[in-house]
Amino acid sequence: MENLTLKLFGKTLKNPVMNASGTLGYGKEIESLWGIETLGAYVTKGLSAKPHHGNPVPRVWEERNGMINSIGLQNIGVERFFNEYFPYFKQRQTPVIVNFFGFTEEEYIACAEKIKADPLIVALEMNLSCPNIKMGGISFGKEPNMVFEIVKHVKSTTDIPLIIKLTPEVKNIVEIAWAAYEGGANGLTLINTIPAAVVDIRSRCIPLKGGLSGPTIKPVALRAVYECSKAVSIPIVGAGGIMNTEDALSFFMAGATAIQIGTATFVDPYTIPKIISGISNYIDEQGLSLIDDIVGIAHDQ
């Protein structure tokens, strides 16, 4: 599988396949099925400067070809993660991308500052879908100037490469991608879940509002990856409804340098290893040498 190797922010990853944040627990949970070192990089559950309890149930709801979740960013806090879980990734020599969030700019900065550079840390992945509680609850990721400002400020507090994970619920995602790029982002993850709701007709209420994921959002994600990768020159991590090798290939062809698998793991917990061998086989069968050979190939057609 040498044909999957890539360099990302100066670090060598053995493949371009990651889990999406929050869909592989704290990492250890998968170990009886497959080794964490299978991943190109492990993306942490969203971490914050202080622990968060998360939301009451229901937190998940099935949809046709997808699901809605509202976990509420439950996490043990960035410090406990590094004390209790990071040694596991060290021991397994698995590169880590640290997903983090906040509800104020100060909280983002406080969290980023607590993360010390390490040879295994590839990047920070900043979740910009949270409401900015100092700005009436509008999401940080919605306005280009808010994106520019927060990226610039967080970037100035850390030496670790910074990936920005964007919400698709915006007027123009290319403008947001530009704002992140101009603020100093080193990469983008596209896309986060799409805001959605469920109505229970029996109880006539809305039991859950949350983020829609799964194959139903794949075309939306592909469009964002395609448009943004044409517009900005930083690496794009594609995410959104990837269920199999064909889906994965379509993201690379649309312009993603790496991909993340989320909801698919709940349906088939072996999806990640299956996709890794699937894309490697494809590269071989096509007589290509590296996965990079197909990144953005659809742009030229």
The contact set with other proteins (CB under 8 A) reads 22-25, 29-30, 32-33, 45, 51, 53-54, 56-67, 69, 71, 74, 76, 214, 263, 265-270
In the complex with other proteins, the residue whose CB is nearer, 25 or 87, is: 25
Q: How far is the CB of 93 from other proteins (least distance, A)?
A: 22
Q: How far is the CB of 76 from other proteins (least distance, A)?
A: 7
C-alpha distances in angstroms, 163 versus 131, 193, 225, 285, 288? Answer: 19, 17, 14, 32, 28
In the complex with other proteins, the residue whose CB is nearer, 37 or 63, is: 63
- Listed in sequence order, the residues at least 6 apart from 7 whose beta carbon sits closer than 8 Å to its beta carbon are 13
In the complex with other proteins, the residue whose CB is nearer, 183 or 215, is: 215
Closest CA to 109 of 155, 141, 67, 69: 155
For residues 248 and 242, is the Cβ–Cβ distance under 8 A?
Answer: yes
In the complex with other proteins, the residue whose CB is nearer, 31 or 106, is: 31
C-alpha distances in angstroms, 172 versus 113, 175, 241? Answer: 30, 6, 21
In the complex with other proteins, the residue whose CB is nearer, 7 or 50, is: 50
Q: How far is the CB of 42 from other proteins (least distance, A)?
A: 12
Phi-psi map region of 188: left, alpha, beta (phi>0 left; psi -120 to 50 alpha): beta
Q: How far is the CB of 151 from other proteins (least distance, A)?
A: 28
For residues 229 and 256, is the Cβ–Cβ distance under 8 A?
Answer: yes
Q: In what order do the strands lie in the sheet containing 42-43?
A: 17-19, 258-261, 236-239, 187-190, 162-165, 121-127, 96-100, 42-43
Q: How far is the CB of 63 from other proteins (least distance, A)?
A: 7
130 as an active site residue: the answer is yes
Residues labelled catalytic: 130
